[in-house]
Amino acid sequence: MRSPIASITLFLVLLTGASPAGAHGARVIWEFRGDSVFVSAAFDDGMPMDSAQVTVFSGAAPSEPWLTGFTDDRGGFAFLPDRSESSNWDVQVRKAGHGDIVHLSLESDTVNSGSGGGLSALQTVLMSACVVWGFIGTAFFFASRRKRV
């Protein structure tokens, strides 16, 4: 069951970060769920990568699979990383000749996307605009309250 945050984030990622060549790529995002990590994988057209092959790599031994499994029918996969082993993890998701690998730094963000979590310029601008708009709205709210007093 994908969380609303993961779903919205994946939607925004797919919306603003279309496939490099405009085709059928795959995108993977992740988020914390308590101590666990939850991964969501979808094709560029938004279709979930259900029953996709998942391989988890620990930063302590990055070339050897730490865990393997398959996504659920909504492209989701959860696992509990051993934080004593490493704070850096990589999760690869593959299906039908398409795949993506995402880097997880457990000491940083709570929702990340893409091959390594990097955001495109458009995504950065969009997210920054949302945050600034929130600040402006808050500021005007308090300013209007002072006027009434």
Partner 1 sequence: MGTLKAALFAVLALAMIHAVPGCGDADQAQAGSEEQTAAPEYGSLQFVANGEDFVRDGFVSSDGWSITFRHLYVTISDLTAYQTDPPYDPHSREEIAGEVTVELEGVHTVDLVPGEGGIETALVGFLENVPVGHYNAMSWTMVPAADGPSRGYSIYLDAQAEKGDQSYNVMLGFEDIYHYLAGEYVGDVRKGFVEPGETGELEMTFHLDHLFGDNGLPVDSELNLMAMGFGPFTSLMQEGTVEEDLRSLESKLSQSDYEKLLAILLTLGHTGEGHCSCVVR
Interaction site with partner 1 (CB under 8 A): 17-27, 43, 45, 57, 62-63, 90, 92, 94, 96-101, 103, 105, 114-121, 128, 131-132, 135-136, 139-140, 142-144, 146-147
Q: Residue 74 or residue 94: which is nearer to partner 1 going by CB?
A: 94
* DSSP 8-state class, residue 22: S
- Cβ closest to partner 1, residue 1 vs residue 143: 143
Q: How far is the CB of 133 from partner 1 (least distance, A)?
A: 9
> DSSP letters of 25-67?
-EEEEEEEETTEEEEEEEETTS-B-TT-EEEEEETTSTTSEEE
| Cβ proximity of 78 and 37 under 8 Å | yes
Tell me how far apart the alpha carbons of residues 2 and 54 are, in angstroms, rounded to a whole number.
16
For partner 1, give the closer residue by CB, 2 or 98: 98
Q: Which of 87, 113, 145 is nearest to 15 (CA)?
A: 113
- Of 74 and 103, which CB lies nearer to partner 1 in the complex structure? 103
CB of 3 to partner 1, least distance (A): 22
> Residue 147 CB, nearest distance to partner 1 (Å)?
6
| C-alpha–C-alpha distance, residues 84 and 22, integer Å | 40
Q: Report, in Å, the least distance between residue 7 CB and partner 1.
A: 19
